[in-house]
């Protein structure tokens, strides 16, 4: 696969792929004409980057995760990987739970405000906003 095909397949720009390569996130082999040759390992890594970016994981952490995937298997590497990933998972889980809470609150506010009932439900809406310490007074 060439870079055009990969960009289309993953719905990202070619410059994004080049940027990941420049940062050392992707190690893309080159053919005799110096064209990038995207093999299955590179495609797997690119999909991993895209998935982790979708979780708003920083590129430095993504680079470390990729490094762990490519590191020879050992007991210390396994412990290091598990500790790092466990911490990252717990952080992202807390962030996602917070986002779910906010989304549920927004749905509740939407239901209270629809059908021009905002004035009727104004006090209930402000009380709902204060549930988590939000201050809209």
Provide the CA 18 distance to its chain's centre, in angstroms: 19
Model confidence at 128, in pLDDT bands (50, 70, 90)? low
Q: Does residue 85 contact residue 105 with C-beta atoms inside 8 Å?
A: no
Question: Mean of the pLDDT values across residues 23-44?
Answer: 94
* Residue 31 within any structural domain of the chain: yes
Distance CA 80, CA 56 (A): 22
pLDDT at 27: 93
pLDDT at 45: 95
Distance CA 81, CA 69 (A): 9
Average pLDDT, the chain: 86
Quote the DSSP letter at residue 5: H
Residue 135: is its pLDDT beyond 70?
Answer: no
Q: Does residue 66 share a domain with residue 6?
A: yes
Q: Does residue 113 share a domain with residue 57?
A: no
* Residue 79 within any structural domain of the chain: no
Number of domains in the chain: 2
pLDDT tens, position by position, 73-119: 777 777 888 888 999 999 999 999 999 988 888 887 787 777 666 66
Q: How far is the CA of 89 from the CAs of 82, 99, 108, 137, in angstroms? A: 10, 15, 28, 36
* Residue 76 within any structural domain of the chain: no
Q: Does residue 97 share a domain with residue 65?
A: no
Question: Mean of the pLDDT values across residues 15-42?
Answer: 94
Residue 28: is its pLDDT beyond 50?
Answer: yes
**Based on C-alpha coordinates, what's the Rg of the chain?**
22
Q: Does residue 100 share a domain with residue 62?
A: no
Domain assignment of residue 23, given as a range = 1-70
């Amino acid at each position: 696969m060439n870079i055009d095909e990969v960009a289309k397949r993953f719905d990202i720009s070619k410059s994004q792929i080049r940027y990941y390569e420049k940062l050392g996130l992707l190690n893309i082999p080159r053919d005799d004409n110096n064209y990038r040759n995207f093999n299955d390992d590179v495609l797997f890594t690119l999909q991993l980057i895209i998935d982790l970016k979708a979780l708003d994981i920083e590129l430095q952490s993504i680079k470390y995760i990729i490094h762990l995937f490519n590191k020879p298997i050992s007991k210390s590497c396994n412990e290091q990987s598990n500790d790092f990933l466990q911490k990252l998972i717990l952080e992202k889980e807390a962030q996602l739970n917070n986002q779910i809470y906010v989304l549920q609150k927004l749905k509740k506010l939407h239901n209270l405000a629809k059908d021009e009932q905002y004035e009727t439900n104004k006090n209930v809406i402000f009380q709902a906003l204060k549930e988590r310490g939000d201050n809209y007074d």
